[in-house]
Structure 1
Amino acid sequence: LYLDDEYIDYFKELFESSSRNSIKAIIYRPDREVFQNTLEKEGVRIVSASRTLLDLAGMGYSAMDITKAMVAKYDLL
């Protein structure tokens, strides 16, 4: 997720969980403008697949699994 600093605490308040069955969310603080040219679906702003893939690749080994999954679906998007 890309979030401005002002929304991080609110996001944590809504979704923080100690359950082992929960979904892991990684919050990114953008170092460039990422909120332009986006889609919004049900109130959630979505960046392009190419931007997501580049950012995941930039994270290196820690994001390897999700990057591989994204590459596998990329041509379908």
Structure 2
Amino acid sequence: MAKTSIDKSLFNDLKETLAQTPETPTQKITAIEEKKTLLRDEEAPFTLWVPKTLMKQIKMKALEEDVSIKEVIIAAIKKDILN
């Protein structure tokens, strides 16, 4: 008989736990800061195949300067064309 009272107690505890609705966490919404770059309307897509060794150098330069690969390539093109 003692076992049934324990079973009922556990069952009642389970019922109470299941009856409670869990708290839904609230998400904080923040605005994304847009990077000050050229607008997409002012850009055109460009695909280029480069030697792997050159690509490694471009990636290393971007990493060292903490800029994107795109920015490194654009700077190199501008430097060559404008000078």
Q: Same fold (TM over 0.5)?
A: no
More helix per residue: 2
Larger Rg: 2
Where relative contact order (Cα < 8 A, 6+ residues apart) is larger, the structure is: 1
TM-score using structure 2 length: 0.21
